[in-house]
Structure 1
Amino acid sequence: MSQKLSGKRVAILATDGFEESELAVPKKELDSQGITVHVVAPDKKGIRAWAETDWGDTYDVDVALDDADVASYHALVLPGGLFNPDSLRVNEKAQAFARHFFETGKPVGAICHGPWLLINAGVVKGRRMTSFPSLAQDLKNAGAEWVDEQVVVDSGLVTSRKPADLDAFCSKLIEEIGEGRHSEQHA
């Protein structure tokens, strides 16, 4: 456990249909570093995972989005899946929650289809990013530079393509959280 990560708080914003490994693995890795991790969702009831080809486990929600104190978190993680980010990207409260991290220079990690929310939040223009390949054109249309790489870091924004990239994603995410605020991170 790292001393500089002890006391940090991270929100994982998700709803039904998140890719199970893209929430479970980062949560476990962040927990192992002494970071307090809260699963934040549009409401307080449990959220159901998508486990590659079928519905997976139901995960507890720590804080409902309406009750989440965005200022109390040091970083944000956005897991992918198809249903989860598609639902969150049209949720104005989720957009505002995500946008806050960019406005305040805090690290954000988004994997797979997670960047969909960032497109709708209006924070990807001019950013170098990766994602699941089917989002490449969406990101380009929103003004991002899309690249096909395992993990991309752009001033506190960490993105990866798929579950196979989770080791690299988690490693860079932990590094960015340790660095703290990034003055180049912007909305």
Structure 2
Amino acid sequence: MKRYLYIVLFASLLFAGCEQKPSLQKYFVANSDNKDFISLDLAPTFINVEKVSLSAAEKEALESFKRINVLAFKSDSLNQNKFNEEREKVNTILKDKSYQQLMRVGSGKEGGAVYFVGQDEHIDEFVLYANKKENGFAVVRVIGDDMNPTDVLNLMRLMQKANIDMEQLKPLQALMQP
């Protein structure tokens, strides 16, 4: 009898310990197959560095980088209610204390922001969020291990001078067109 009591107690603690709050990861999973969204998962190999000499800082940034997840919603005149609803979901998720804002540009309704998850020198995720009523919104998750803000800047510089596999980015072209 005690054995069953322990099993029930353990199961209840297990379920009580699971977080039910929304997160970007859950949002990405829920919408990755949704026809209203464009979803991309990019591995570090999309940055072709074979013919590029890397500095020590760029090597370190590349080693700390695991993948990039992109989720974008293209807005048009027919889906403004859905756009506002989805944008509000993302804004609510990003208000959680685990997402720390680094900077913001633009106004409250249009613009962008950069967030991070982790501590100053041990960041696990950078989030870039941009939205504009005419185009839609995009959420980009840069996921890595023990990254810091300098790593992300070095990664961006590296992407500028390396060969990027543009074929993997084709789905985003529809979002960029007016």
Which one has a larger percent helix, Structure 1 or Structure 2? 2
Rg comparison, structure with higher value: 2
Higher relative contact order (CA 8 A, sep 6+): 2
Q: Normalised by the size of structure 2, how large is the TM-score?
A: 0.27
Q: Normalised by the size of structure 1, how large is the TM-score?
A: 0.26
Which one has a larger percent strand, Structure 1 or Structure 2? 2
